[in-house]
């Protein structure tokens, strides 16, 4: 993992305000960079969902011990898979490219709100390779999607990392 990606992931996890008694759902967990960060912060349970089977296999391989200890669950799937989970989460982190993310969120953000405890938070992280204006538009589109699904206290933060903009869109479950 590059130093830039490590800095970005650390910044994202800092924004989540993770505590040891929390359950965290990671949508788009990839090979597990954020999984490791959450577990290092001592969260109670992490469930990671990834749609790329190859990345999921790597995540399973890299994080064998937490899986065996029961602090980590990994699944193959997408936002639909998340809506099938039973227990509510304290934090939900969605990481995905901006193209299809807004459309998928429109469809599943109500279900995700139902999978988040009252007062729990969702954070959507995406990158935009173009200008600040395009990044702002992507962030606002996702923020308005969350508002339309009943999430409250939405905010958008942007950070430039080399040649791309990273958007962190947060909201709270009522």
What are the tokens at 39?
A: 């577990």
Helices (H), ranges, the chain: 3-16, 33-40, 53-62, 64-69, 79-83, 98-114, 132-148
Looking at residue 83, its pLDDT comes to 66
Closest Cα partner for 92 from 165, 22, 21? Answer: 22
154 has a pLDDT exceeding 80:
yes
CA 130 to chain centre: 22
pLDDT mean over 136-160: 84
Predicted pLDDT of residue 101: 65
Res. 171: pLDDT tops 80: yes
Write down the pLDDT at residue 23.
Answer: 92
Residue-wise pLDDT for 75-130, tens only, equals 898 777 776 777 789 998 888 776 666 667 777 777 777 788 888 888 888 777 66
- If one counts every other C-beta atom within 10 angstroms of the C-beta of residue 60, the result is 17
Q: Quick check: helix, strand or coil at residue 30?
A: coil
Residue bearing the bigger pLDDT, 145 or 8: 145
φ, ψ (nearest 5 deg) of residue 73: -120, 135
Nearest Cα to Cα of residue 72 among 42, 40, 35: 35
Percent of the chain at pLDDT exceeding 70:
87
Residues 141-160, mean pLDDT to the nearest whole number: 85
Side by side, the strands of the sheet bearing 152-161 are 72-76, 45-50, 23-27, 89-95, 116-128, 164-172, 152-161
3 state SS of 85: coil
Residue 65, pLDDT score: 87
In the chain, the percentage of residues whose pLDDT exceeds 90 is 6
pLDDT number for residue 75: 87
Q: How does residue 70 score in pLDDT terms, banded at 50, 70 and 90?
A: confident
pLDDT tens per residue across span 17-32: 888 889 999 888 888 8
Mean pLDDT value of segment 123-145:
78
| SS3 assignment, position 110 | helix
Q: Residue 54: what pLDDT?
A: 92
When the pLDDT of each residue in the chain is averaged and rounded to a whole number, the result is 81
**Is the CB of residue 93 less than 8 Å from the CB of residue 16?**
yes
């Amino acid at each position: 993992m590059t130093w830039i990606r490590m800095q970005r992931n650390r910044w994202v996890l800092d924004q989540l305000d993770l505590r040891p008694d929390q359950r965290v759902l990671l949508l788009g967990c990839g090979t597990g960079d954020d999984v490791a960060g959450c577990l290092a912060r001592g969260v109670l349970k992490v469930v990671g969902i990834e749609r790329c089977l190859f990345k999921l296999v790597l995540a399973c391989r890299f994080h064998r011990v937490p899986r065996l200890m029961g602090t980590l669950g990994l699944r193959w799937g997408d936002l639909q898979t998340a809506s099938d989970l039973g227990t509510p989460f304290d934090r939900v982190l969605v990481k995905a490219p901006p193209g299809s993310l807004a459309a998928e969120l429109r469809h599943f953000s109500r279900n995700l709100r139902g999978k988040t405890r009252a007062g729990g938070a969702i954070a959507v992280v995406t990158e935009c390779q173009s200008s600040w204006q395009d990044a702002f538009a992507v962030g606002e589109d996702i923020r308005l999607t969350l508002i339309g699904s009943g999430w409250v206290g939405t905010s958008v933060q942007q950070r430039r990392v080399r040649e791309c903009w990273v958007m962190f869109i947060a909201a709270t479950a009522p």
